[in-house]
Amino acid sequence: MFDKILDKIKPTKGEFNEIKKLVNSVLKEIKIKDAKPVVGGSFAKDTWLSGIHDIDIFVKFNYKKYKDRSKKIDGLLYKGIKKLKPKRLHGSRDYFQIKKGKLTFEIVPILDIRKASQAVNITDVSPLHALWVKKHKLHNDIRLSKAFARAHHVYGAETHIRGFSGYVLEILTIYYGGFMKFVRGVSKWKGKTVIDPEKLLKKPLKELNTSKISSPLVLVDPVDKARNAAAVVSKEKYDTLIKAAKLFLKNPSERYFLLKEEKIPKNAIAIEIKPKKGKSDVVAGKLFALFNKIKRQIKLEGFGLKKSGFIFDGKAVFWFVFKSNKLSEYKEIRGPPLKLKKHVEQFRKKHKKTVVKKGFVCTKESRKFTDAEKFVKLLYRKLYK
């Protein structure tokens, strides 16, 4: 079964050679004093899936020379690649994007470090990740783990996904010792799971910064003991992966590796949005923030929200399922308890008609919105600018 799956997800020799040729042509065009360009990401680790369109190139600047001037290396990189007409992108340190053939290259300036403690910026550590993954030689098992996660829509650490990054899946597959062991391990996860592959910390939950351990999975980065590599993983994606692992073990099948279109419930109110131009993950992040803002407003207005979802795949869709699409004309407002006489008096002055229910003074107020669909669409038009 796995051989058949790998035939579909593993890049062919022809695909590899085509991409390698494009990569080498870009590397040759990056000539900067005291800096060396290297390929990064899943392509460098040989854990990439067929159909890749994004390649990371890290330009490593001499550590001793630039450790105290690291804020300048993005400017030096720009001067060195200006002829490639790069697009500047903003991040923890500015980086650049160029397109060549069918590929998009992200060219990132970093310091050439030997250990994570030397890093001035989180991106400086990236080549160390590649070295750690490559030495374990579980390339195809990692590909299976990535395809499995992708098929269940839990692959990706972007803000709008909050799932398992490629690096997290690489670490987990290596930690467990292969794909099947990875699935068995995941199927046993309960509550908060703590994994420290290189045993770098005695008590991760006490030694890591509290802001880094709020996720259901705490995965100590094997090359940076101060980092939880899975810090962005949401409870929803965590639970989805556990459920998928359990189902797969009951009845292993190729269908668990096939990417299916996310289904919108038939009774959902859905809004299809044409995303604005910009970097995909940035645009998606802004739309996801809007989606959450709409959800909060829905709850504040008193609409009972059962389920909701956000889909982003070139187009964006928000969908919502309500307990009822219609609300009553009036909503009840509960005031203070009767024993607080002064507050009760003030409440009655403010509201003409009041009643007493279970020891509280209450009133009714007309709702501004009673139709869930109209309210959602109005919110969208008001907030999407």
User: Under CATH, which number does the domain 2-123 receive?
Assistant: 3.30.460.10
- Bridge partners, residue 270, by sequence: 319
pLDDT, tens only, 210-241? 989 999 999 999 999 999 999 999 999 999 99
| Region for residue 102 given its phi and psi (left: phi exceeds 0; alpha: psi -120 to 50; beta: otherwise) | alpha
Rounded to an integer, what distance in angstroms lies between the CA atom of residue 173 and that of residue 177?
A: 6
Give residue 314's pLDDT: 72
CATH 1.10.1410.30 fits domain 139-257? yes
CATH 3.40.720 fits domain 269-325+372-383? no
Give residue 280's pLDDT: 78
* 345-369 residues labelled b (16+ CB within 10 A) or e (exposed): eebeeeeeebeeeeebbbbeeeeeb
Give residue 17's pLDDT: 92
| Region for residue 137 given its phi and psi (left: phi exceeds 0; alpha: psi -120 to 50; beta: otherwise) | left
Extents of the domains making up the chain: 2-123, 139-257, 269-325+372-383, 330-366
Question: Has residue 385 got a pLDDT over 70?
Answer: no
Q: Does pTM surpass 0.85?
A: no
Between CA 252 and CA 259, with CA 253 as vertex, the angle to 5 degrees is 125
User: What is the percent of the chain where pLDDT is above 70?
Assistant: 100
Average pLDDT of the chain is 91
pLDDT, tens only, 71-105? 889 999 999 999 999 999 888 889 999 998 888 99
pLDDT, tens only, 335-372? 999 999 999 999 999 988 899 999 999 998 888 888 99
Sequence-ordered strand ranges (E) for 246-329? 269-273, 305-312, 316-322
Question: Which has more confidence, 3 or 242?
Answer: 242
Kindly state the helix (H) or strand (E) to which residue 354 belongs, with its residue range: strand 354-357
Between CA 206 and CA 214, with CA 208 as vertex, the angle to 5 degrees is 90
* 190-201 residues labelled b (16+ CB within 10 A) or e (exposed): eeebbbbbeeeb
pLDDT, tens only, 17-56? 999 999 999 999 998 988 999 999 999 999 999 987 889 9
Contact (CB, 8 A) for 97 and 107: yes
Beta strands 330-337 and 35-39: pairing type? unpaired
